[in-house]
Amino acid sequence: MTDQFPPFSARNRGAHARVDNDCPETARIGLLHLLGQLVDKRYVDDWKIIRSELERIARLRPGLNTIEIDELLLGLPWEKVYDFCERLYSHLTTGVFRYDRETEDTVVITTKTEAQEYVAKELQRLFIEENLAFEFTNGLVRRRGRQHTTEQVVRAEQVLGDPRLLFALKHFNKALRYFRNVSQPDPENVVKEAVCAVEATARALFPDTGATLGDVVKKISGDEVGQLPKAIAKTFEGLYGFRSGGEGVGHGGAAGGSVTKELAEYTLAVAASQIVLLVDLAAASEPVPF
Protein backbone atom coordinates (compact mmCIF):
# COMPACT_ATOMS: atom_id res chain seq x y z
CA MET A 1 0.00 0.00 0.00
CA THR A 2 3.00 2.34 0.39
CA ASP A 3 3.11 2.77 -3.39
CA GLN A 4 -0.03 4.89 -3.10
CA PHE A 5 1.91 7.69 -1.40
CA PRO A 6 4.73 9.99 -2.56
CA PRO A 7 8.17 9.12 -1.15
CA PHE A 8 9.29 10.68 2.13
CA SER A 9 11.56 13.20 0.40
CA ALA A 10 8.55 14.61 -1.47
CA ARG A 11 6.23 14.57 1.58
CA ASN A 12 8.84 16.33 3.69
CA ARG A 13 9.75 18.95 1.10
CA GLY A 14 7.11 21.51 1.95
CA ALA A 15 5.84 24.13 -0.46
CA HIS A 16 9.04 24.66 -2.43
CA ALA A 17 8.66 25.78 -6.03
CA ARG A 18 8.58 22.96 -8.52
CA VAL A 19 11.23 22.58 -11.18
CA ASP A 20 9.74 24.11 -14.33
CA ASN A 21 11.04 24.31 -17.90
CA ASP A 22 13.94 22.02 -17.06
CA CYS A 23 14.92 18.42 -16.54
CA PRO A 24 17.81 18.51 -14.05
CA GLU A 25 20.78 16.19 -14.19
CA THR A 26 19.59 14.28 -11.12
CA ALA A 27 16.31 13.45 -12.89
CA ARG A 28 18.21 12.24 -15.96
CA ILE A 29 20.43 10.03 -13.80
CA GLY A 30 17.32 8.62 -12.15
CA LEU A 31 15.93 7.91 -15.62
CA LEU A 32 19.15 6.04 -16.52
CA HIS A 33 18.67 3.81 -13.46
CA LEU A 34 15.10 3.13 -14.55
CA LEU A 35 16.29 2.21 -18.05
CA GLY A 36 18.68 -0.32 -16.53
CA GLN A 37 15.82 -1.88 -14.56
CA LEU A 38 13.65 -2.08 -17.68
CA VAL A 39 16.37 -3.84 -19.66
CA ASP A 40 16.94 -6.28 -16.78
CA LYS A 41 13.21 -7.03 -16.61
CA ARG A 42 13.10 -7.32 -20.43
CA TYR A 43 10.41 -4.62 -20.55
CA VAL A 44 12.72 -2.99 -23.11
CA ASP A 45 14.48 -5.31 -25.55
CA ASP A 46 18.05 -4.01 -25.07
CA TRP A 47 20.27 -0.94 -24.78
CA LYS A 48 20.62 -0.83 -28.56
CA ILE A 49 17.01 0.21 -29.05
CA ILE A 50 17.40 2.83 -26.31
CA ARG A 51 20.46 4.28 -28.05
CA SER A 52 18.64 4.30 -31.37
CA GLU A 53 15.72 6.24 -29.90
CA LEU A 54 17.98 8.75 -28.17
CA GLU A 55 19.89 9.30 -31.41
CA ARG A 56 16.62 9.81 -33.27
CA ILE A 57 15.33 12.35 -30.77
CA ALA A 58 18.69 14.16 -30.75
CA ARG A 59 18.67 14.06 -34.58
CA LEU A 60 22.05 12.31 -34.73
CA ARG A 61 22.91 10.05 -37.61
CA PRO A 62 22.23 6.48 -36.47
CA GLY A 63 25.27 4.36 -35.70
CA LEU A 64 27.80 7.00 -36.74
CA ASN A 65 28.73 8.36 -33.31
CA THR A 66 30.53 6.99 -30.28
CA ILE A 67 28.65 8.99 -27.66
CA GLU A 68 27.71 6.87 -24.65
CA ILE A 69 24.04 6.47 -23.76
CA ASP A 70 24.40 8.46 -20.53
CA GLU A 71 26.03 11.32 -22.42
CA LEU A 72 23.25 11.23 -25.01
CA LEU A 73 20.60 11.51 -22.33
CA LEU A 74 22.46 14.14 -20.31
CA GLY A 75 23.03 16.22 -23.44
CA LEU A 76 19.43 16.33 -24.68
CA PRO A 77 17.51 19.63 -24.43
CA TRP A 78 15.19 19.40 -21.43
CA GLU A 79 11.96 19.15 -23.45
CA LYS A 80 13.45 16.32 -25.55
CA VAL A 81 14.00 14.26 -22.39
CA TYR A 82 10.26 14.34 -21.80
CA ASP A 83 9.73 13.37 -25.45
CA PHE A 84 11.92 10.35 -24.74
CA CYS A 85 9.84 9.45 -21.67
CA GLU A 86 6.70 9.38 -23.81
CA ARG A 87 8.41 7.26 -26.48
CA LEU A 88 9.80 4.95 -23.81
CA TYR A 89 6.25 4.23 -22.68
CA SER A 90 4.57 4.04 -26.08
CA HIS A 91 7.18 2.46 -28.39
CA LEU A 92 10.10 0.99 -26.46
CA THR A 93 8.22 -0.87 -23.73
CA THR A 94 7.23 -4.41 -24.64
CA GLY A 95 5.72 -7.52 -23.08
CA VAL A 96 7.78 -10.46 -21.86
CA PHE A 97 7.32 -13.93 -23.36
CA ARG A 98 8.99 -17.32 -23.23
CA TYR A 99 8.82 -20.37 -25.46
CA ASP A 100 7.49 -23.56 -23.87
CA ARG A 101 9.24 -26.47 -25.54
CA GLU A 102 6.79 -29.04 -24.22
CA THR A 103 3.69 -27.37 -25.58
CA GLU A 104 5.53 -25.50 -28.36
CA ASP A 105 3.54 -22.42 -27.38
CA THR A 106 4.54 -18.89 -26.50
CA VAL A 107 3.77 -18.16 -22.86
CA VAL A 108 3.02 -14.61 -21.78
CA ILE A 109 4.96 -13.66 -18.63
CA THR A 110 4.18 -9.96 -18.65
CA THR A 111 1.79 -8.26 -21.05
CA LYS A 112 2.76 -5.01 -22.72
CA THR A 113 0.00 -3.24 -20.80
CA GLU A 114 1.42 -4.48 -17.49
CA ALA A 115 4.91 -3.39 -18.50
CA GLN A 116 3.62 0.04 -19.49
CA GLU A 117 1.84 0.38 -16.15
CA TYR A 118 5.16 -0.28 -14.43
CA VAL A 119 6.95 2.29 -16.59
CA ALA A 120 4.26 4.91 -15.97
CA LYS A 121 4.34 4.32 -12.20
CA GLU A 122 8.12 4.59 -12.04
CA LEU A 123 8.25 7.70 -14.22
CA GLN A 124 5.60 9.35 -12.06
CA ARG A 125 7.55 8.41 -8.94
CA LEU A 126 10.71 9.92 -10.47
CA PHE A 127 8.89 13.15 -11.37
CA ILE A 128 7.60 13.46 -7.79
CA GLU A 129 10.98 12.71 -6.24
CA GLU A 130 12.59 15.39 -8.40
CA ASN A 131 9.84 17.93 -7.61
CA LEU A 132 9.19 18.47 -11.30
CA ALA A 133 6.35 20.69 -12.45
CA PHE A 134 5.15 17.82 -14.64
CA GLU A 135 3.42 14.48 -14.21
CA PHE A 136 3.27 11.33 -16.31
CA THR A 137 -0.32 10.21 -16.91
CA ASN A 138 -1.94 8.18 -19.68
CA GLY A 139 1.35 7.93 -21.53
CA LEU A 140 1.92 11.69 -21.70
CA VAL A 141 3.97 14.26 -19.82
CA ARG A 142 1.62 16.99 -18.59
CA ARG A 143 1.98 20.06 -16.45
CA ARG A 144 1.20 19.02 -12.89
CA GLY A 145 -1.42 20.75 -10.80
CA ARG A 146 -1.95 20.49 -7.10
CA GLN A 147 -4.26 17.74 -5.88
CA HIS A 148 -7.03 20.25 -5.20
CA THR A 149 -6.77 21.60 -8.75
CA THR A 150 -6.88 18.11 -10.21
CA GLU A 151 -9.99 17.20 -8.22
CA GLN A 152 -11.85 20.38 -9.20
CA VAL A 153 -10.92 19.95 -12.87
CA VAL A 154 -12.26 16.39 -12.88
CA ARG A 155 -15.56 17.53 -11.33
CA ALA A 156 -15.90 20.34 -13.87
CA GLU A 157 -15.17 17.98 -16.76
CA GLN A 158 -17.95 15.69 -15.55
CA VAL A 159 -20.64 18.38 -15.44
CA LEU A 160 -19.45 19.89 -18.72
CA GLY A 161 -20.60 16.70 -20.41
CA ASP A 162 -24.05 18.30 -20.57
CA PRO A 163 -24.79 18.96 -24.29
CA ARG A 164 -25.91 22.49 -23.40
CA LEU A 165 -22.39 23.25 -22.21
CA LEU A 166 -20.50 22.21 -25.34
CA PHE A 167 -19.23 25.75 -25.95
CA ALA A 168 -18.10 26.04 -22.33
CA LEU A 169 -16.32 22.69 -22.59
CA LYS A 170 -14.35 23.92 -25.59
CA HIS A 171 -13.10 26.90 -23.60
CA PHE A 172 -12.30 24.72 -20.58
CA ASN A 173 -10.36 22.25 -22.71
CA LYS A 174 -8.36 25.12 -24.19
CA ALA A 175 -7.51 26.31 -20.69
CA LEU A 176 -6.31 22.80 -19.80
CA ARG A 177 -4.17 22.57 -22.94
CA TYR A 178 -2.47 25.87 -22.13
CA PHE A 179 -2.01 24.82 -18.50
CA ARG A 180 -0.52 21.44 -19.38
CA ASN A 181 1.73 22.63 -22.20
CA VAL A 182 5.22 21.49 -21.28
CA SER A 183 7.41 23.44 -23.69
CA GLN A 184 5.39 26.66 -24.07
CA PRO A 185 3.47 27.52 -20.88
CA ASP A 186 0.88 30.25 -21.41
CA PRO A 187 -0.63 31.33 -18.05
CA GLU A 188 -2.41 34.33 -19.60
CA ASN A 189 -4.47 32.13 -21.90
CA VAL A 190 -5.17 29.71 -19.04
CA VAL A 191 -6.88 32.60 -17.22
CA LYS A 192 -8.67 33.84 -20.33
CA GLU A 193 -10.09 30.48 -21.39
CA ALA A 194 -10.96 29.33 -17.87
CA VAL A 195 -13.04 32.44 -17.19
CA CYS A 196 -14.58 32.22 -20.67
CA ALA A 197 -15.69 28.70 -19.73
CA VAL A 198 -17.40 30.07 -16.62
CA GLU A 199 -19.14 32.77 -18.65
CA ALA A 200 -20.24 30.31 -21.34
CA THR A 201 -21.63 28.00 -18.63
CA ALA A 202 -23.58 30.83 -17.01
CA ARG A 203 -25.05 32.03 -20.30
CA ALA A 204 -26.07 28.51 -21.34
CA LEU A 205 -27.71 27.61 -18.03
CA PHE A 206 -29.41 30.96 -17.46
CA PRO A 207 -30.16 32.13 -21.02
CA ASP A 208 -32.68 34.83 -20.08
CA THR A 209 -30.52 36.67 -17.57
CA GLY A 210 -28.03 38.57 -19.73
CA ALA A 211 -25.25 38.48 -22.30
CA THR A 212 -22.25 38.65 -19.96
CA LEU A 213 -21.12 36.82 -16.85
CA GLY A 214 -21.69 39.99 -14.84
CA ASP A 215 -25.29 40.22 -16.06
CA VAL A 216 -26.02 36.60 -15.19
CA VAL A 217 -24.42 36.77 -11.76
CA LYS A 218 -26.36 39.93 -10.93
CA LYS A 219 -29.67 38.32 -11.93
CA ILE A 220 -29.17 35.06 -10.03
CA SER A 221 -27.79 36.69 -6.85
CA GLY A 222 -29.89 37.20 -3.77
CA ASP A 223 -30.65 36.12 -0.24
CA GLU A 224 -33.30 33.50 -1.06
CA VAL A 225 -32.72 29.75 -1.03
CA GLY A 226 -31.43 28.65 -4.41
CA GLN A 227 -29.92 32.03 -5.24
CA LEU A 228 -26.23 32.89 -5.38
CA PRO A 229 -25.31 34.68 -2.13
CA LYS A 230 -24.05 38.18 -2.84
CA ALA A 231 -20.77 37.61 -1.01
CA ILE A 232 -20.08 34.55 -3.20
CA ALA A 233 -21.12 36.53 -6.27
CA LYS A 234 -18.17 38.83 -5.64
CA THR A 235 -15.79 35.92 -6.27
CA PHE A 236 -17.24 35.65 -9.78
CA GLU A 237 -16.82 39.39 -10.23
CA GLY A 238 -13.24 39.24 -8.98
CA LEU A 239 -12.23 36.42 -11.31
CA TYR A 240 -13.90 38.13 -14.26
CA GLY A 241 -12.14 41.37 -13.34
CA PHE A 242 -8.76 39.62 -13.38
CA ARG A 243 -9.58 38.12 -16.77
CA SER A 244 -10.31 41.64 -18.07
CA GLY A 245 -7.54 43.50 -16.27
CA GLY A 246 -4.66 41.05 -15.92
CA GLU A 247 -1.60 41.93 -17.96
CA GLY A 248 -1.72 40.22 -21.34
CA VAL A 249 -5.05 38.51 -20.68
CA GLY A 250 -8.07 40.44 -21.88
CA HIS A 251 -7.16 43.90 -23.10
CA GLY A 252 -3.98 45.36 -24.51
CA GLY A 253 -2.20 47.61 -22.06
CA ALA A 254 -4.14 46.34 -19.04
CA ALA A 255 -2.20 46.74 -15.82
CA GLY A 256 -4.16 44.60 -13.41
CA GLY A 257 -1.26 42.43 -12.35
CA SER A 258 1.09 39.93 -13.95
CA VAL A 259 -0.19 36.39 -14.50
CA THR A 260 2.15 33.83 -12.96
CA LYS A 261 1.78 30.07 -13.32
CA GLU A 262 0.61 29.97 -9.69
CA LEU A 263 -2.15 32.51 -10.39
CA ALA A 264 -3.09 30.63 -13.55
CA GLU A 265 -3.52 27.41 -11.57
CA TYR A 266 -5.54 29.22 -8.90
CA THR A 267 -7.80 30.70 -11.58
CA LEU A 268 -8.26 27.31 -13.22
CA ALA A 269 -9.23 25.67 -9.92
CA VAL A 270 -11.64 28.47 -8.96
CA ALA A 271 -13.19 28.54 -12.44
CA ALA A 272 -13.74 24.77 -12.24
CA SER A 273 -15.46 25.18 -8.86
CA GLN A 274 -17.62 28.01 -10.19
CA ILE A 275 -18.74 25.90 -13.14
CA VAL A 276 -19.83 23.10 -10.81
CA LEU A 277 -21.65 25.61 -8.57
CA LEU A 278 -23.51 27.13 -11.52
CA VAL A 279 -24.64 23.67 -12.62
CA ASP A 280 -25.88 22.93 -9.10
CA LEU A 281 -27.76 26.25 -8.93
CA ALA A 282 -29.37 25.65 -12.31
CA ALA A 283 -30.46 22.14 -11.28
CA ALA A 284 -31.98 23.48 -8.07
CA SER A 285 -34.00 26.10 -9.95
CA GLU A 286 -35.50 23.62 -12.42
CA PRO A 287 -39.15 22.66 -11.76
CA VAL A 288 -39.75 19.22 -10.32
CA PRO A 289 -41.37 16.97 -12.99
CA PHE A 290 -44.63 15.25 -12.09
Q: Could you give all domains of the chain from N- to C-terminal order, each with its CATH number?
A: 2-141 (no CATH), 145-285 (1.20.120)
Tell me if residue 10 falls in helix, strand or coil: helix
- Per-residue pLDDT of 161-204, as tens digits, reads 999 999 999 999 999 989 988 777 788 999 999 999 999 999 99
Q: What is the DSSP string of 114-132?
A: HHHHHHHHHHHHHHHHTTB
Using CA atoms in the order 210, 215, 217, 223, what is the torsion angle rounded to 10 degrees? Answer: -100
State the chain's mean pLDDT as an integer.
88
Residue 251 pLDDT more than 60? no
Task: Give the per-residue pLDDT at 267.
Answer: 94
Cα–Cα distances in Å, from 258 out to 21, 255, 284? 19, 8, 37
CB 229, CB 156: distance < 8 Å: no
pLDDT band at residue 288 under the 50/70/90 scheme: very low
